[in-house]
């Protein structure tokens, strides 16, 4: 089988998982495009950090000298599209056959479920690296698999199921990854 | 005149403005209440930080050793209420007579304007310390004053104008500051 394996540069950040970097960069570029072209206002949230010590070498410059990563309580991305609240997280998947449910943290599942209950649009943006395929998977399609995994069932979602329950997104030039097309399809289907 | 001046504790953070801390803490507590009682999903965004150097004294513990504050590109708060996208920033005001427009940064005005154009609910949550009064001021009411200030007009909004163009919020016990009541009034008026 001749798979379109895409070469990706890996950054030398010691002990830091590089997962999601490529996808996140594409999403960030796409969000800038959306903002500039008045399509949507979607931003990545900053990494939450607990600041312990700050130095002030000069009046205007504060240098953080000691800080720690905190566990986020939400997802990485949220914003506004066509008057609708949008919320999602990016996930890269290295497998050819399935998406491991443990890739999605409990706080992310809880947050996306809350968004859905409050009538927002909540989803996962899943990248199957080996197929070079991108999927918008609504949280309500993900949750039944999560329930099964909690009840000692399968701990992953088969690739074929992801394909059936999600909206596929094509990679482009500008915008790099027009994932709101997936949201348009989702809205058409759900209205 | 006997004004209900509220005593507030000041934290000893050298060279760091303490402005907004009291109000933000109230808003954070209120957001926790909203989340717990399934009223709304509104979170404060983390402070954006540019991380330069990270140490790994042990396998699981990363210590940030050098980092800098970055200018945010959005406001501090956003979320979802009754299916609507909500976006705002907190502002404390020490004056008895007016609210200085420079208290709101340009990037915040631009962001809130974009939210309004995309049919979200964008506002300032203004606290007049000396009156112990809280106001939800929709961004569309703020913008005309901003325009005037850009055209060499007044650089502040009179207290009486804030009172007329905003929705007053009562301080409470739990939730501490039920600012979504202001949004309810706003929606009633605008529907």
Residue B11 in any domain: the answer is no
Look up the pTM and report it.
Answer: 0.87
Residue A171 near residue A132, CB atoms below 8 Å? yes
Residue A3 pLDDT level (bands cut at 50, 70, 90): very low
What's the confidence (pLDDT) of residue A57? 84
Residue B13 in any domain: the answer is no
What's the confidence (pLDDT) of residue B59? 73
Residue B37 has pLDDT above 70, yes or no: yes
Query: Which residues, listed in sequence order, are joined to residue A97 by a DSSP beta bridge?
Result: none
Residue B15 near residue A57, CB atoms below 8 Å? no
Average pLDDT, chain B: 90
Residue B1 pLDDT level (bands cut at 50, 70, 90): very low
| Count of the separate structural domains present in chain A | 1
B contact residues 119-138, partner A, Cβ 8 Å cutoff: 119-120
Q: Is A82 on the interface with B (CB under 8 A)?
A: yes
Q: Tokens 């009682």 correspond to what residue? A: B37
Residue A7 pLDDT level (bands cut at 50, 70, 90): very low
Question: pLDDT for A78-93, tens place per residue?
Answer: 999 999 999 999 999 9
- Torsion sign across C-alpha atoms B55, B57, B60, B61: negative
Say which residue, A115 or B8, is predicted with more confidence. Answer: A115
Instruction: State the average pLDDT over residues B65-94.
Output: 96
Residue A143 has pLDDT above 70, yes or no: yes
For B119, which of A48, A70, A83 is closest by C-beta distance? A83
Query: Which residues, listed in sequence order, are joined to residue B180 by a DSSP beta bridge?
Result: none
- Put simply, the answer to whether A85 touches B80 (Cβ < 8 Å) is yes
Residue B9 in any domain: the answer is no
What's the confidence (pLDDT) of residue A17? 35
Question: In chain A, pLDDT over 70 holds for what percent of residues?
Answer: 89
Residue A10 has pLDDT above 50, yes or no: no
Residue B100 near residue B156, CB atoms below 8 Å? yes
The CATH number of the domain where A102 resides is what?
3.40.1350.10
Q: Is B15 on the interface with A (CB under 8 A)?
A: yes
Instruction: Give the residue on A whose Cα is nearest the Cα of B61.
Output: A68
- Torsion sign across C-alpha atoms A62, A66, A72, A76: positive
Residue B5 in any domain: the answer is no
- Put simply, the answer to whether A80 touches B85 (Cβ < 8 Å) is yes
Residue B71 in any domain: the answer is yes
DSSP letters spanning chain A: ----PPP------TT---TTHHHHHHHHHHHHHHHHTTSEEEEEPPPPEEEEEEEEEETTEEEEEEEEE---SS-SEEEEETTEEEEEEEEEE--SSEEEGGGS-HHHHHHHHHHHHTT-EEEEEEEETTTTEEEEEEHHHHHHHHHHHHTTS-SEEEHHHHHHHSEEE-B-SSSSB-THHHHHHHHHHH-
Cβ-based contacts of B67 with chain A (< 8 Å): 49, 63-64, 67
Say which residue, A111 or A9, is predicted with more confidence. Answer: A111
Cβ-based contacts of B87 with chain A (< 8 Å): 80
Domain span at A30: 21-45+72-190
Residue A96 in any domain: the answer is yes
Average pLDDT, chain A: 90
Structure tokens, A141: 């399609």
Residue A151 in any domain: the answer is yes
Report ipTM (2 d.p.). 0.86
Instruction: State the average pLDDT over residues A59-75.
Output: 91
ω before B51 within 30° of 0 (cis)? no
Question: pLDDT for B130-158, tens place per residue?
Answer: 999 999 999 999 999 999 999 999 999 99
Residue B57 pLDDT level (bands cut at 50, 70, 90): confident
Residue A170 in any domain: the answer is yes
Residue B28 pLDDT level (bands cut at 50, 70, 90): very high
CA distance A181 to chain B (A): 17
């Amino acid at each position: 089988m001749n798979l379109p394996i895409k070469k990706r540069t890996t950054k030398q950040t010691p002990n830091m998982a590089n997962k999601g970097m490529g996808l996140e960069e594409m999403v960030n570029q796409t969000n800038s495009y959306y903002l500039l072209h008045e399509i949507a206002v979607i931003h990545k949230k900053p990494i939450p950090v607990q600041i312990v010590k700050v130095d002030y070498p000069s009046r205007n410059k504060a240098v953080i000298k000691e800080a720690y990563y905190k566990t986020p309580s939400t997802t990485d991305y949220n914003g506004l599209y066509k008057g609708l609240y949008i919320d999602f997280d990016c996930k890269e998947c290295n497998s050819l056959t399935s998406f491991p449910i443990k890739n999605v943290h409990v706080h992310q599942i809880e947050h996306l479920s809350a968004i859905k209950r409050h009538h927002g649009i909540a989803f996962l943006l899943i990248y199957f690296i080996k197929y070079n395929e991108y999927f918008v998977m609504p949280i309500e399609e993900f949750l039944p698999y999560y329930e099964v995994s909690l009840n000692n069932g399968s701990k992953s979602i088969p690739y074929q199921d992801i394909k059936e329950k999600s909206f596929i997104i094509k990679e482009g030039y500008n915008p790099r990854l027009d994932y709101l097309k997936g949201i348009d399809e989702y809205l058409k289907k759900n209205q």
